[in-house]
A and B are shown apart, each in its own frame.
Chain A
Amino acid sequence: MAEDLVLDTAIRDWVLIPLSVVMVLIGVLRHFVSKLMRTSSQLPDPKIVKEGQVIIRARNLRAAANFIPLKSFRARKVYYSNEENGLLFVPKGQAQNAQAQMFSDPNMAMDMMKKNLSMIIPQTLTFAWVNFFFSGFVAAKIPFPLTQRFRSMLQNGIDLSTVDVSYVSSRSWYFLNLFGLRGLFSLILGEENATDDTQRMMQMGGFGFDPSKSLSAEKDGLDILQHEWALPKFEQRAETVLRKLVS
């Protein structure tokens, strides 16, 4: 490298380390704040809980179908999916769509907004803080070479084309922290931390809001299931084992 920059040690002591520590601490704070907000919500609707339990039971049946005789399996299948009063059968028209349900239940929208806000507010605040105090200088250097394409990503806030690309501006160091600390958070905060909330919300979108759809999907799954008994010879096997034990 022709032009090695000399970075002041004060940058390390007053930018690099504080920035990283603050990012970690803000992540922890956000985790506990969102936890506090979540516990204040009211009990879930019993109907939704009931439907979820039915789905879980049907799924268990589907997973373990091959361990019970054909007759028992048929009886259970009818119990779940017959067209008149099966547990998984949803009458047409009764299925309310997700939008209507969301409007009828303002708490749900409120909850989502709270979650979103607890995501967005700390991020904007930290970003503003970083921008205000630490904008416009090189804070770090990544230990591997990169192509020119990464310049806009890693040297956000510095408009010099002669600086080597592997030098990282403080604003970009913030972004690196934002993405890279996810693993650390999952280690120190356990599995249910606030950073994972976005992913969970995406998963919940189909499930929590429109249970009738997942009910009918489960019903279809049961209907097309081929039953094949996995233990056709288990009586003989048991007999031989027992005989061996006795003799």
Chain B
Amino acid sequence: MAGSDGSNGSKEKSNDFANELPSYNAENMQSNMKVIYYSRTFMSIIGGVIAGILGFTGLMGFVFYFLVMAITSAGIAAKAGFSVHLYFDSWNLIILDGFLGGLMSFVLFWTFAYDIVHIF
């Protein structure tokens, strides 16, 4: 995974009342968000190139994009050791954040690779 380095040390662990008392370090939160954003962008570019080389067209490509994003989410969750609340506010952040942001890059690189390999 791109850039999900060791900058994940996010929340002070407070065992039995972590639920009633959320305490976050804003800078670490931001760093975690940035890591998510980077990995998503990276994955969407790589996914676009792969989709183009494999020659997906039409709906197939978008399905592939969703697949790639799902894999990315799973990867981030795995990187966080599936104890997501240690690093992020909620699951939504991992699953949905930056979902549409990578679409434009994906389409561009998909088109680029597809044209180079298949059209000419």
Contacts and interface: CB of A to CB of B under 8 A. Distances in A.
Contacts, number: 77
Contacts of A8: 120
B99 interface: no
Interface string A1-33: 000000111011000110010000000000000
Chain A interface, DSSP helix/strand/loop, else mixed = helix
A140 interface: yes
B114 A16 contact: no
Contacts of A205: none
A12 B105 CA distance: 20
B74 interface: no
B111 A176 contact: yes
A187 interface: yes
A20 B112 contact: yes
Contacts of B120: 7-9, 11-12
Interface stretch (A68-76, A86-94, A177-185): A177-185
A143 B44 contact: no
A230 interface: yes
Interface string B29-71: 0000010011001101100000010011111011000000000
Nearest to A17: B116
Contacts of B87: none
A15 B42 CA distance: 25
A244 to B, nearest CB: 13
Contacts of A186: 37-38, 41
A16 B34 contact: no
B108 interface: yes
Nearest to A145: B58
Interface of B: 2, 21, 26, 34, 37-38, 41-42, 44-45, 52, 55-59, 61-62, 101-102, 104-105, 107-112, 114-116, 119-120
